[in-house]
Amino acid sequence: MKILGIDPGLDRTGWAVLDKSGAAPPVLVASGLIHTPARLPLEKRLARIFDSLASLIRAQRPEEAAIEEVFFSKKAATQANTTHARGVILLACEKGGLPISSYNPRTIKKTISGSGSAEKKQMQRVVQLTLNLAAVPEPDDVADAMAAALCHLRLAPFAKALAKAKAGAADIRRVGTC
């Protein structure tokens, strides 16, 4: 299964594509950063994120997307810009036909490192070890995207099993009402 992990941001959007087959550990296929210059108007920056991500989805052909949720910032402008970026990211993934899962930063940290309050450096090191990378992934936006994809690979099977169980329970209730 090929997963596209994304760490949204208006200035820098980190992305990573991981591939996992069977019991083998996940493999990093590609990763990078979508950078938008601050001198550009907001709409141009958002278009650049959308176009870059749409092109990436066509080229890499991931099966699902895992996107980090926006955390609350003390700076309203920063939060608004990140939310705008996340919106076009969601749109690009939807237009690309990808099922989307969103994870808050704490869940990602807890799932990957065992601690919901893990520091950036600790997360980068855990990602490096998990993916058997020669060096710590840089910048941290890219490492965060890798972590989002790893989180999804660990949690998605449980979410799918739960959804299937709930659907089965609903079928049983419907049969029982005949």
List, by residue number, the catalytic residues.
7, 68, 141
Rounded Cα distance, 75 and 73, in Å: 5
Which token pair is 1?
Answer: 């299964």
Q: Give the 3-state secondary structure of residue 65.
A: strand
Which token pair is 104?
Answer: 């808050």
Whether residue 26 contacts residue 19, with contact meaning beta carbons closer than 8 Å, is answered with yes
Q: Give the 3-state secondary structure of residue 131.
A: coil
